[in-house]
């Protein structure tokens, strides 16, 4: 797999602590969202042993407690940030059969010969363009075990909203409501969002999933632009 990260991951490779500080303030509703993730994984664990692939796993700070509550038989995390993966080893300490891989998430998914009961991605897929997202849905469908689920946590545009309109609103929220973050750090994050965030609408995601033979879509919850979605065959 290529070790060279693409430009849209620069913020997370070079300034992971900035993203971590933003998520710690719960501006992106991590606490509420990962309560849902814990419940989903607990339901899956109640049915038996399960394996989980985490695409764009970051430092696993938020998913690690979910995994320790509903422990998978195997966990594989993929990310392009070496700094985040180094931290992930600490957050995942105590879990068995863990693998962390410094790879592009779509390329890793397409290349693996292993199937997973759950594929998860948190706040990573919106960096892909439309073709990349469609390719990811196809790859997820191909690598999900029978009865498997793709759990997607991500930002989503409103129906009929352009990317430019979405960005105008989201950047305004960042600049006016994320007050615990230093202004220069907010501007760095805003520059990243403006350049590399390409969220789809819910209907677009459903269409992509259906085209990849994942027609069953459930909107588990949403917090402003931040959605918890579950896709299955």
Taking only the tens place, the pLDDT of each residue in 156-200 is 999 999 999 999 999 999 999 999 998 988 998 999 999 999 999
For residue 166, is it within any domain? yes
Give the CATH number of the domain where residue 81 resides: 3.40.50.150
- pLDDT of residue 225 exceeding 90: yes
In angstroms, the CA 195 to CA 3 distance is 22
Of 97, 98, 108, give the one whose Cα is nearest residue 143: 108
pLDDT at 6: 47
pLDDT grade for 18, boundaries at 50, 70 and 90: confident
- pLDDT of residue 127 exceeding 50: yes
Residue range(s) defining the domain that contains residue 198 = 7-232
In angstroms, the CA 67 to CA 57 distance is 13
Q: Where are the beta strands (DSSP E) in the chain?
A: 51-55, 74-79, 98-102, 116-122, 144-155, 216-223, 226-232
Structural contact between residues 110 and 136, judged by C-beta atoms closer than 8 angstroms:
no
Pairing of strands 144-155, 226-232: antiparallel
**∠178-182-183 over CA atoms, to 5°?**
80
**Residues with Cβ < 8 Å from 16, sequence gap 6 or more?**
58, 59, 81, 83, 84, 87
Mean pLDDT score, 110-133: 97
Span of 1-5, 131-135, 142-146, 168-172 with lowest mean pLDDT = 1-5
Q: What is the pLDDT of residues 94-110, one digit of tens each?
A: 999 999 999 999 999 99
- pLDDT of residue 8 exceeding 70: no
In angstroms, the CA 99 to CA 85 distance is 10
For residue 63, is it within any domain? yes
For residue 202, is it within any domain? yes
For residue 97, is it within any domain? yes
**Residues found in the chain:** 233
For residue 1, is it within any domain? no
How many domains are there within the chain? 1
């Amino acid at each position: 797999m290529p070790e060279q990260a693409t430009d849209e991951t620069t913020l997370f490779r070079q300034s992971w602590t900035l993203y971590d500080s933003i998520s710690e303030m719960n501006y992106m509703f991590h606490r509420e969202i990962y309560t849902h993730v814990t419940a989903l994984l607990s339901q899956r664990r109640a049915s038996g042993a399960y394996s989980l692939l985490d695409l764009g796993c970051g430092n696993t700070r938020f998913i690690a407690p979910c995994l320790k509550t509903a422990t998978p038989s195997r966990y594989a995390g993929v990310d392009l940030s070496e700094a985040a993966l180094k931290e992930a080893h600490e957050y995942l300490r105590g879990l068995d059969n863990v693998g962390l891989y410094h790879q592009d998430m779509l390329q890793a998914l397409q290349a693996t010969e292993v199937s997973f009961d759950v594929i998860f991605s948190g706040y990573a897929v919106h960096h892909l363009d439309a073709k990349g997202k469609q390719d990811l849905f196809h790859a997820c469908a191909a690598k999900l075990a029978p009865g498997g689920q793709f759990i997607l946590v991500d930002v989503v545009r409103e129906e009929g909203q352009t990317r430019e309109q979405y960005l105008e609103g989201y950047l305004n929220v960042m600049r006016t409501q994320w007050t615990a973050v230093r202004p220069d750090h907010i501007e760095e994050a805003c520059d990243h969002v403006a350049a590399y965030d390409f969220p789809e609408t819910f209907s677009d995601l459903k269409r992509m999933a259906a085209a990849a033979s994942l027609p069953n879509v459930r909107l588990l919850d949403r917090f402003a632009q931040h959605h918890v979605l579950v896709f299955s065959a």
